């Protein structure tokens, strides 16, 4: 085909599409039409330009010299030299470092010091459990093979206090030493924040009694103190000691006994 005619046809397609795009916009628009028309407008013009450049332009192969990048050694020695003054150099260096510190220090205003915030959650002794809407949780509300995300009363939706509670047959529990009175009526609660990368451990496999993190597939055994059984998490999910108060509400005996969520250097 005649190349010039092909380029011309491309430009015509582009022109019509651009007009169409404007019309499409004013008649209501929509992503599909916008994408197609914009694509044709740009593509037609691009194709035309390329055909023009590749087939209709005379561009002979040329050769250009490539002079060396570095100067000759003689020319480089022309610059005046700075005599070496050790004291000045050292003081300037020290002042420079200090100045760097002085300039950088306002950056510390960007965030608070971690302090105790990584060690504590909003759980307190006797805090009643509520669901994400703030409704109090009774022991009778949770059946076998159910799972519920709970928070301390007054902190519904709190990111670092989010906790999963499930009910299991107490006889099947095989918890670490000292947790025998943490699970009234087979209610077991663990921090919902993965000890690997901090995602909410939202998957409960109710038959194998395992919790699974959707981010990196760390798996935790509910019956065995949420010890990791698969995946990259190395630490068990902290367990929340539970009790049932005189009105039948589930309460926490205390805060988690270790930091929740991903590990950090001074956590122990």
Minimum CB distance to other proteins smaller for 98 or for 234: 234
106 counts as binding other proteins under rule CB under 8 A? no
Given the rule CB under 8 A, which of 31-39, 88-96, 173-181, 245-253 is the region that contacts other proteins? 31-39
Among 90, 217, 245, 257, binds other proteins (CB under 8 A): 217
107 counts as binding other proteins under rule CB under 8 A? yes
220 counts as binding other proteins under rule CB under 8 A? no
- 37 to each of 8, 30, 41, how far by Cα in Å? 18, 11, 6
Q: The tokens of 66 are what?
A: 């490539």
Token pair 């926490």 in the structure block, residue: 252
40 counts as binding other proteins under rule CB under 8 A? yes
262 counts as binding other proteins under rule CB under 8 A? yes
Residue 25 parent element (H or E): helix 3-26
With H, G, I as helix, E, B as strand and everything else as coil, classify residue 124: coil
199 counts as binding other proteins under rule CB under 8 A? yes
Q: The tokens of 52 are what?
A: 């023009």
User: Which residues from 122-181 bind other proteins, rule CB under 8 A?
Assistant: 132, 141, 143-147, 149, 157, 159-160, 162, 166
103 counts as binding other proteins under rule CB under 8 A? no
50 counts as binding other proteins under rule CB under 8 A? yes
User: Which residues from 54-73 bind other proteins, rule CB under 8 A?
Assistant: 54-69
Q: The tokens of 15 are what?
A: 């022109």
9 counts as binding other proteins under rule CB under 8 A? no
Return the HEC string of 182-211. Answer: HCHHHEEEEECECCCCCCECCEEECCCCEE
202 counts as binding other proteins under rule CB under 8 A? yes
User: Which residues from 224-243 bind other proteins, rule CB under 8 A?
Assistant: 228, 230-235
Q: The tokens of 30 are what?
A: 């929509």
Minimum CB distance to other proteins smaller for 48 or for 238: 48
Closest distance of CB 28 from other proteins, Å: 8
Minimum CB distance to other proteins smaller for 93 or for 248: 248
With H, G, I as helix, E, B as strand and everything else as coil, classify residue 243: strand
With CA atoms as reference, report the closest residue to 188 among 207, 172, 212: 172
Contact 210, 220 (CB under 8 A): yes
Token pair 């190349």 in the structure block, residue: 3
15 counts as binding other proteins under rule CB under 8 A? no
86 counts as binding other proteins under rule CB under 8 A? no
Among 125, 135, 208, 257, binds other proteins (CB under 8 A): 208
- Total binding residues toward other proteins, as defined by CB under 8 A: 98
108 counts as binding other proteins under rule CB under 8 A? yes
d(CA 20, CA 22): 5
């Amino acid at each position: 085909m005649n190349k010039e005619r092909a380029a011309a046809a491309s430009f015509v397609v582009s022109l019509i599409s651009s007009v169409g795009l404007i019309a499409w916009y004013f008649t209501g628009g929509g992503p599909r039409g916008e994408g197609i028309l914009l694509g044709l407008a740009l593509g037609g013009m691009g194709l035309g330009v390329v055909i023009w450049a590749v087939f209709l332009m005379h561009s002979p192969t040329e050769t250009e010299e490539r002079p060396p990048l570095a100067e000759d050694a003689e020319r480089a020695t022309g610059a005046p030299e700075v005599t070496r003054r050790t004291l000045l150099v050292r003081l300037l260096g020290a002042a420079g470092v200090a100045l760097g510190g002085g300039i950088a220090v306002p950056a510390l205003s960007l965030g608070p010091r971690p302090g105790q915030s990584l060690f504590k959650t909003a759980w307190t002794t006797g805090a009643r459990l509520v669901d994400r809407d703030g409704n109090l949780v009774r022991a009778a509300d949770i059946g076998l093979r159910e799972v519920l995300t709970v928070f301390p009363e007054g902190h519904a939706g709190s990111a670092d206090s989010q906790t999963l509670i499930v009910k299991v047959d107490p006889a099947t529990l095989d918890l670490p030493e000292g947790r025998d009175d943490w699970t009234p009526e087979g209610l077991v609660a663990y921090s919902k924040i993965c000890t690997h990368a901090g995602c909410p451990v939202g998957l409960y496999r109710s038959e194998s009694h395992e919790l699974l993190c959707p981010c990196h597939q760390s798996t935790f055994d509910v019956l065995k103190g949420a010890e990791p059984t698969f995946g990259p998490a190395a630490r068990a999910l902290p367990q929340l000691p539970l009790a049932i108060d005189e009105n039948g509400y589930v309460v926490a005996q205390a805060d988690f006994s270790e930091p929740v969520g991903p590990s950090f250097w001074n956590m122990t």
